[in-house]
Structure 1
């Protein structure tokens, strides 16, 4: 049902049910006929309240608190102006989304990592569910259904005040949702080099009791050792898998839609090359030299055409394996990830 609701054919060639609403600083409640009421120097309804001002360190701001039934189909953010961009804003601003009065958020991640921009670095992302456009325009198109209520918050976990936050949550009010509707989730995780053991796989997601489908991975890797960094395989342990997974990939760059360490031959050397496409991407690389001692890489894979279904459990891991002179070796790097999935609501 949700797939049909989000295909262009059904959206544009059939009568669309529901009622369109939007929540932003100009209409923070999303009420009908209540947008743009605040006045500016130009008068009422003339860009009087376009953003939230001065989010102080430690403060949590509620962006949306809405009761009803429907589907969020677009979320947009931008923070600050380019001339006053502050370090750690993207990693230290935490996005949380709660469905149907739940106490624990179904979505919890730094805003940068959620939008595939790790390392506090903005990069262009041209995927189907996540788009990051000039300049620091963060867009999410994952469909997010809710039966009774949704609440979206932002917390400033940096030491600096966020002077401006612009946002808009676009959603459709519906009379009901199908009984088999599943809810959107996203979870951030991180393991630093000094807390890892050689040969220990990194866990991207572990759900011991859940029913749904896995739809995406964002991975940010800081490599501290030279030579090839991307021989590690991603593994999906599904519905009772213990020692061995049902799905085991062939290498990190392979899973993220590339090959041969994303290297394009140039003057006798392979030059790692970034790219961004609908479902796979390598949008950020801090150094052009594959043998740099320390470098940062951001990658994404969205399983929209190929969701990974699970009936009662799933565990997603990745190895940390490198290669030099034709030989594999275990390595330890900093890894940060965001897992995206849908599951039934308890």
Structure 2
């Protein structure tokens, strides 16, 4: 069983300063390079420097706050009981739209998979912050409103957020009150009122995926080997293993509306990122893929080419196109 995540604000920070697209705000980030050392800051609409270029990364504004970070050496807490080790620490704070640093750059952004920095932005007035291996939530004044108590922590949506503690997942509200009990081995964020859950721990190939409602009740029983989140009332699901499984589509009642017959429902990026491209309906259309294996090239993961099918909501093929490599697909 593989779990895939919708793209979030995670940044690949190992390759240099992270500079996002211009913000819809009075201040925009800029960067300066000096002897291969890249720093960023903020200018106003007139080009005047308001925040000097001294940060490792500078985000866009989210709810009137922008995230800034610095990098330093320090001790990293070992994952899942492993020994602590020395490595770069990515510390983040937040400025307001006037450029004032209102939350000091002293909150660690943990590093996952060796390359992914768990940068966080404000959502619904709160931001997940990390300390000594635990997450909590802080408001825009820097006050901790939900204490450091969670192994993992999502972003708030509609006043709720998925978190985990003691290796179980549940849901809390903005006061920290539990609204869905901590009883799931894995629970994703909510999309269109439903969240994916897993019968086993994340990364366990024996687990099955289903969906729960906002009260934590089972809406669709766990019987899928992979599943994407719901989009436009439909979700791509898979029956079978990674190499021989097939993808189809279900509705919110769990009814199969497109039988599983496609090899892939998304494109996996290069590297260690857990994000995927595709697998979701947009404008009533979904792209799926079949691997063409006749005369398969052993140096190309066992396929000669890839055919992309664009489906409508009923599974009708609206268009198809064949590519030699995944990298050719736009």
| Common fold: TM-score over 0.5 | no
Higher helix share: 1
State the structure with bigger RCO (CA 8 A, min sep 6), 1 or 2: 1
TM-score when normalising by structure 2? 0.28
TM-score when normalising by structure 1? 0.27
Higher strand share: 2
